[in-house]
Amino acid sequence: MNSLGSRFFALVKAMAPNNFAMVMATGIISVALLRLGCPWGAWFFHGVNACLYAALWTLLLIRLIRYPAAVAADFKSHLKGPPFLTIVAGTAIIGTQSALLAHHVAAAGALFWLGAVCWAFILWGVFFAIFTRVPKPSLGCGINGAWLLATVSTEALVILGATLGAPAGWDAALVYFCLCALFSVGVVLYLFVITGIFFRFCFTDMLAAELDPTYWINASAAAATALAGTALMGRAGAAPLMGLVLPYISGITMLAWAAASWWVPMLMLLGFWRHFVLRYPFTYTPAYWSMVFPLGMYTACTSAISDAFGVPGLMAVPCVFIFFALGAWAVTLAGLVRSRGRALLKGTALPAQEYCRTEKAPLPGNADNGAGRPQGR
């Protein structure tokens, strides 16, 4: 790989399925800034996100055309398949930005339908491949937080759909029935996956290399459910159906926000244990955007919860968390630029993403103290 072109295509071939998480993170920070009364910041992140979204779609299409076998192998993997749902969530979130900031309803509507088509293809396609795979990996090597993108992508579509409302001439009752049903699907998917993750945390060894940043989606999936719930609560008078389901929606919304609030400090403790107790190295991988996104989503959803339930005292939380989200975004972006810039310009090898041994990928750095799995397991 001596030429710049060959290094570029090597990067494209190795492109992680979860790269659209940077669109998710950038977009939700924009939405959070808008809710906190900072429109210029929201517009800045919207502009950045539009560029990221276009660039990532271009790279994804190049990868699909030049390296279809690599894409197919990722799609069928237990650990690399679910991250394709970042495409859905990223599309829906940038659509929500377009609706709230630019008031481009037609563009936001087109993004909703693009996201919906991708959701159906990826969600059913990935889980069909996982369900029918033989042999299957163990629980410890087959699940991580990226599986909860099933909920995040679903609720991101609900947020965009509720933001747009029922299009003129459409049956409003049917539109809101479908949105409420989709909201419920997201809740059920969260319950399915979080049960497996909680069991994995409690009853299988959790070593440093396996505690990757995707587990922050434990929090962001619950927070996205809460934000979707507040969006539906805001449409309470849009159709008679909404009055009937409002108690259910509001109860699940509060439950989801409480779950996210429990997960955030727990994940901070686990991150401290991983990096400062076990001394696992900080090495940029796209999975770190999965840690940025929950900080922005928790900021946005707590602000929305404060408004929806009439609890102004809660606004102290998003006013603090937005700075954590902005700091994490800046640090992760710097890691992206440094890592990919060095790989492109100097041919520096990229650190492998952290997959279990059944995924046949090495782990980065000299991460001892529990970073590797004993051979006897």
Q: Per residue in 114-154, pLDDT tens?
A: 999 999 999 999 999 999 999 999 888 899 999 999 999 99
Count Cα neighbours of 350 within 13 Å in the Cβ-side half-sphere: 25
pLDDT tens for each residue of 12-35 = 998 999 999 999 999 999 999 999
Q: What sections of the chain are H helices per DSSP? A: 4-13, 21-35, 39-66, 68-75, 86-97, 105-132, 139-142, 149-164, 172-203, 217-233, 240-272, 289-309, 316-346
Find the farthest-apart pair of alpha carbons in the chain and give their distance in angstroms, rounded: 65
Indicate whether 364 belongs to any domain. Answer: no
Banded model confidence at residue 177, pLDDT cuts 50, 70, 90: very high
**pLDDT greater than 80 at residue 250:** yes
Q: Look up residue 74 and give its amino acid.
A: D
- Residue of 344 and 304 predicted with greater confidence: 304
| 237 is a domain residue | yes
The answer, yes or no, to whether residue 376 has pLDDT greater than 80, is no
Angle, helices 21-35 vs 86-97, to 10°: value is 30
Q: Is 70 exceeded by the pLDDT of residue 157?
A: yes
Average pLDDT in the chain? 91
Lowest mean pLDDT among 62-66, 182-186, 349-353: 349-353
pLDDT of 324 higher than 60: yes
C-alpha 261/C-alpha 314 separation (Å) is 12
Residue 367 located in a structural domain: no
pLDDT in the model for residue 44? 97
Collapsing DSSP to helix, strand or coil, 375 comes out as coil
* Residue 372, in any domain of the structure: no
The CATH number for 262's domain is 1.50.10.150
Position 237 scores a pLDDT of: 86
CA 362 to chain centre: 24
pLDDT at residue 366 tops 50: no
Q: What is the pLDDT of residue 42?
A: 97
Residue among 294, 336, 334, 366 at smallest CA distance from 15: 336
Is residue 374 assigned to a domain?
no
How many Cα neighbours within 13 Å face the side chain of 361? 20
**What range does the domain containing 285 cover?**
4-359
Burial of 44 (0-12, 13-18, 19+ CB in 10 A): middle
List the structure tokens of 81.
């398949």
Please answer whether residues 226 and 253 qualify as being in contact, where contact means their C-beta atoms are separated by less than 8 angstroms: yes
Place of tokens 């539906």: 232
CA dihedral 220, 225, 230, 233 (to 10 degrees): 180
72-114 tens-digit pLDDT: 999 999 999 999 999 999 999 999 999 999 999 999 999 999 9
Distance, CA of 15 to CA of 122 (rounded, Å): 17
214 occurs within a structural domain: yes
Instruction: Flag the least confident range among 68-72, 196-200, 227-231, 354-358.
Output: 354-358
Calpha distance 108→100 (Å, rounded) = 9
Express as a percent the part of the chain with pLDDT over 70: 92
By CB neighbour count within 10 A (0-12 exposed, 13-18 middle, 19+ buried), where does 65 fall?
exposed
User: Number of folded domains in the chain?
Assistant: 1
Angle in degrees, 0-180, between the axes of helices 86-97 and 149-164, rounded to the nearest 10: 20
* 373 is a domain residue: no
pLDDT at 370 over 50: no
Q: Is residue 199 part of a domain?
A: yes
pLDDT band at 349 (very low <50, low <70, confident <90, very high): low
Q: How far is CA 295 from the centre of its chain?
A: 11
